[in-house]
Amino acid sequence: MTSSKRPTLIVTCLATAMLMLDIAVVNTAMAHIGADLHAGLDSLKWVVDAYTLALATTVLTIGSLADRFGRRNVFAAGLVVFTVASLVCALADSIAMLNTARVVQGIGASGLFASSLALLVNAFPEERERNGAMAIYGATIGASFAVGPLVGGALTSGLNWRWIFLINLPIGIGALAVTLRRVAESRDPAARRVDLPGQVALTGGLFLLVLALLRGNDAGWSATSTIAELAGAAVLLLAFVGIERRVREPMLPLGLFRIPAFAGAQVAVFAISASFFAVYLYATLYLQNVLGLSAIEAGLAYLPGTVVMFFVAGASAQLVERVGARVLIAGGLVLVAAGMGLMTLATEGSSWTIILPGFMLAAVGTGLFNPALAGVAMSSAPMEMSGLASGVNDTFRQGGIAVGVAALGALIPSAGVHLHDAAYVDGLRTALIVGAAVSAVGAIAGWRLIAGREGVPAGAAGVPEAA
């Protein structure tokens, strides 16, 4: 690697690991956060969704800013915002303060996500080297999310839940120093303007959708407030599509979705995020609050799958060249669906090992999926739109987690999280079945849309204009 390639790969993977850990580490700390800040399950769901929702709704706009003002500059700014917000999270003395800081954290994270893949594409212009870099990047995503419960459990049990945020400080400061000194700048000479109407419509629509799903059980699904929130979400999301069709420089050029491989990548990443990644919160609460495991024990329960996921993802670069990205993406989602199906065998009286076979099968699928997906998401869009393509991919990834946490949580009674609660386990089983179905649908869509041995159809070098 040249002097710029290795530092770029290191800092993007380090920042991505920090971001994914910040979604996952909170899972094993939830019980301690709730007890310390006197928060119930409904408030605790926002610890995850405040972060992912803020990230999902701002990453496209920040991606366009990265294309205009420089990907490295936006990446560095994201590190600053994320690191400072992490400190505020650690100092939070109420659930409201924590969730507010998580929103700011999510905005900082969107700066990192929006620019990281674009920085990698710029640093690795050769396809073979880029595939290797994407494999490492994808392995980082999967392994970080999987190891998050173990890290969170170790910090929570050994120190305090606040350390799951304090650990970000040295990582963020170190990554910032390397970024400013060693990472090459890149920008799009024809960058798009900020699409404020689109930003408002997307933010409002996703917020109302998640709010309705989170509050539906308590407020009632036929309640006026729930119906109004769902209707408002539908109106705003439809308005967003209308705005993007008509505005001169849309934040989400709909023409990109005329490229089948690009569209397939977004459907697939939404599917795995709204299913397997979203169910982590509820599976971890099952291990701790139903089976009685400590935070560190719950984290250790995921360790075998974490190891498997890491090694499978690391070997996927060679597999992409041999069998093509489509096979790995669709096959990975099939394994995720099968793994979640196996996890439905869990009962309130089970040993923690009951989830191990299903989790390991899903971990293999995730290890195959992530590196191949990252490569297709970026290579199916024009090189000059790499920042925008990265932002779109992260919108679907984080939006999937936010919607998945809310939607799957709506299937689980919020009042039933205590020891030996059969109602909670029944709800979790239903959520796993629904999640498996979502993964299966994603597998079918990915297989049909992502064509060709390399996963990118011929002629994807350009992008049609938005309709």
Q: What is the pLDDT of residue 84?
A: 94
Give a three-class secondary structure readout of the chain: CCCCHHHHHHHHHHHHHHHHHHHHHHHHHHHHHHHHHCCCHHHHHHHHHHHHHHHHHHHHHHHHHHHHHCHHHHHHHHHHHHHHHHHHHHHCCCHHHHHHHHHHHHHHHHHHHHHHHHHHHHHCCCHHHHHHHHHHHHHHHHHHHHHHHHHHHHHHHHCCCCHHHHCHHHHHHHHHHHHHHHCCCCCCCCCCCCCHHHHHHHHHHHHHHHHHHHHHHHHCCCCHHHHHHHHHHHHHHHHHHHHHHHCCCCCCCHHHHHCHHHHHHHHHHHHHHHHHHHHHHHHHHHHHHHCCCCHHHHHHHCHHHHHHHHHHHHCHHHHHHHHCHHHHHHHHHHHHHHHHHHHCCCCCCCCHHHHHHHHHHHHHHHHHHHHHHHHHHHHCCCHHHHHHHHHHHHHHHHHHHHHHHHHHHCCCCCCCCCCCCHHHHHHHHHHHHHHHHHHHHHHHHHHHHCCCCCCCCCCCCCCCCCC
C-alpha to C-alpha distance for 93 and 380, rounded to whole angstroms: 46
- How far is the C-alpha of 51 from the C-alpha of 58, rounded, in Å? 11
What's the whole-number mean pLDDT along residues 294-309? Answer: 77
Report how far residue 85's alpha carbon sits from residue 111's, in angstroms, rounded to the nearest whole number. 13
| Residue 458 DSSP one-character state | T
CA distance from start to end of the chain: 41
pLDDT tens per residue across span 358-407: 988 998 898 888 778 877 876 776 666 666 677 777 778 878 887 888 78
Tokens of 236: 């705003």
**pLDDT score recorded for residue 146:** 64
Q: Is the pLDDT of residue 453 over 60?
A: no
Amino acid at position 231, single letter? A
pLDDT in tens, 176-225: 888 888 877 877 666 667 778 887 888 888 888 877 877 776 677 778 88
Q: What span, in angstroms and rounded, lies between the C-alpha atoms of 217 and 231?
A: 17
On the question of pLDDT at 460 being above 50, the answer is: no
Q: Which domains does the chain have, with CATH numbers?
A: 5-181+196-449 (1.20.1250.20)
pLDDT value at position 189? 66
- In angstroms, rounded to a whole number, what is the distance separating the alpha carbons of residues 64 and 388? 6
Whether residue 25 contacts residue 164, with contact meaning beta carbons closer than 8 Å, is answered with: yes
Percent of the chain with pLDDT over 90: 12
H-run or E-run covering 398: helix 386-409
Instruction: Look up residue 442 and give its two tokens.
Output: 């994603």
Indicate whether 338 pLDDT > 90.
Answer: yes
Q: What is the mean pLDDT of residues 434-438?
A: 93
What per-residue confidence (pLDDT) applies to 335?
94
Calculate mean pLDDT across residues 101-115.
Answer: 87
Name the residue with higher pLDDT: 394 or 417.
Answer: 394
Cα(326)–Cα(467) distance, integer angstroms: 27
Q: What is the pLDDT of residues 5-39, one digit of tens each?
A: 778 888 888 888 887 777 767 777 777 888 788 77
Query: Which of 49-53, 451-455, 459-463 ranks highest by mean pLDDT?
Result: 49-53
Predicted pLDDT of residue 188: 66
pLDDT at 419 over 60: no
Cα distances (angstroms) measured from residue 10 to each of 153, 178, 265, 292, 327:
25, 9, 25, 38, 28
> How far apart are alpha carbons 86 and 216 in whole angstroms?
30
Q: What pTM was estimated for this model as a whole?
A: 0.74
Q: What is the dihedral of CA 191, 18, 91, 94, to 10 degrees?
A: 80
3-state secondary structure (DSSP) of residue 456:
coil
Specify the pLDDT at position 105. 92
Taking alpha carbons only, the member of 295, 265, 258 closest to residue 369 is 265
Confidence (pLDDT) at 467: 34
- How far, in Å, are 95, 118, 451 from residue 458 at the CA level? 50, 22, 9
